[in-house]
């Protein structure tokens, strides 16, 4: 083919391509007010989703850190329990309970509510407890918490709910439903979750000592 003949064709092709490109670039500019408004609305929705995702990721990171601190605090207590128990030697069970309670109370004389149920972990515990105990589907679980709950039985032995208080041996103990136990962070053998009224306590299973308290952790426990 003659190069001189093809030059006009190449020029025309370049002109058409350039025109199409210009039209494509001009589409957003030529968009009407309605389309521009839709674009802004969609951009705002995307921004909200991104912000929500960032917030959720941040919350999840905070919860992981709080859970790690809780597990470390629980492990430290279990270590203290084991060391003090080893010092007692061979004693009768009641004597072990009394001696161990005195020893741990002395070591934790300055302990306060929230030392293990730290402020950072409290929202997570409250949310998990409410998820398992609130609503009509959780009726059986609420009944389990109410059954044997010393704070809800006028005839039961009074329980002083405070850190380092001894839980009386003859006092009833609330049942923590399996669904909730599977949800809450696991504990070492020396510790138990229990409810007194709506308060969630950490109870030393041998010393019968209240290790920490999370007040009003449970929702309304009405079983009707």
Domain for residue 175, yes or no?
yes
Domain assignment present for 73: yes
| Phi and psi torsions of 57, nearest 5° | -65, -40
Of 212, 94, 85, 120, whose CA–CA distance to 161 is shortest?
212
> Which of 163, 156, 176 is CA-nearest to residue 215?
163
Query: How many helices, marked H, and strands, marked E, lie in the chain?
Result: 6, 3
Q: If residue 15 lies in a helix (H) or strand (E), which one and from where to where? A: helix 3-30
Torsion of CA 89, 94, 97, 103, to 10 degrees: -60
CA–CA gap between residue 198 and residue 145 (Å, rounded): 9
| pLDDT tens per residue across span 105-141 | 999 999 999 999 999 999 999 999 999 999 999 999 9
CA distance 78 to 101: 14
Residues 211 and 162: beta-carbon distance below 8 Å: no
Determine, yes or no, domain membership for 15: no
- Give bridge partners of residue 188 from the DSSP assignment: none
Asked if residue 162 has pLDDT above 90, the reply is: yes
Q: Within a domain: residue 27?
A: no
Q: Is 10 inside any structural domain?
A: no
The structure's pTM equals 0.73
State which residues form the domain around 88.
67-214
Is 116 within 8 Å of 70 (Cβ atoms)?
A: yes
pLDDT digits (tens, 9 = 90+) for 21-64: 443 444 444 445 565 666 666 666 666 655 654 556 667 888 99
More confident residue, 201 or 150: 201
Q: What gap in Å lies between CA 146 and CA 177, rounded to an integer?
A: 11
| Number of domains comprising the chain | 1
Helices within 114-183 (DSSP H only): 122-133, 139-146, 178-181
- Inside any domain, residue 39: no
Could you give the CA distance from residue 10 to residue 25 in angstroms, rounded to a whole number? 23
Predicted confidence at residue 139, as pLDDT, reads 93
Q: Looking at the domain assignment, is residue 16 inside a domain?
A: no
The string of pLDDT tens digits covering residues 61-85 is 889 999 999 999 999 999 999 999 9
């Amino acid at each position: 083919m003659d190069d001189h003949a093809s030059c006009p064709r190449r020029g025309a092709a370049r002109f058409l391509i350039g025109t199409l490109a210009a039209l494509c670039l001009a589409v957003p500019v030529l968009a009407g007010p309605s389309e521009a408004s839709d674009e802004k609305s969609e951009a705002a929705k995307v921004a909200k989703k991104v912000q929500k995702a960032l917030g959720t990721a941040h919350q999840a990171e905070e919860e992981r850190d709080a859970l790690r601190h809780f597990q470390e605090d629980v492990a430290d207590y279990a270590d203290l329990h084991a060391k003090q128990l080893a010092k007692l030697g061979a004693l009768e069970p009641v004597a072990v309970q009394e001696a161990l309670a005195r020893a741990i109370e002395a070591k934790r004389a300055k302990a306060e509510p929230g030392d293990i149920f730290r402020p950072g972990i409290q929202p997570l515990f409250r949310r998990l407890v409410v998820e398992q105990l609130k609503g009509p589907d959780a009726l059986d679980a609420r009944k389990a918490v109410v059954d044997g709950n010393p704070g809800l039985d006028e005839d039961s032995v009074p329980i002083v709910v405070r850190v380092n208080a001894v839980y009386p041996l003859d006092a009833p103990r609330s049942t923590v439903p399996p669904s909730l136990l599977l949800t809450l962070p696991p504990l070492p053998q020396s510790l138990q979750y229990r409810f007194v009224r709506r308060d969630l306590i950490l109870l030393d299973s041998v010393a019968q000592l209240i290790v920490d308290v999370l007040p009003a952790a449970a929702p309304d426990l009405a079983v009707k």
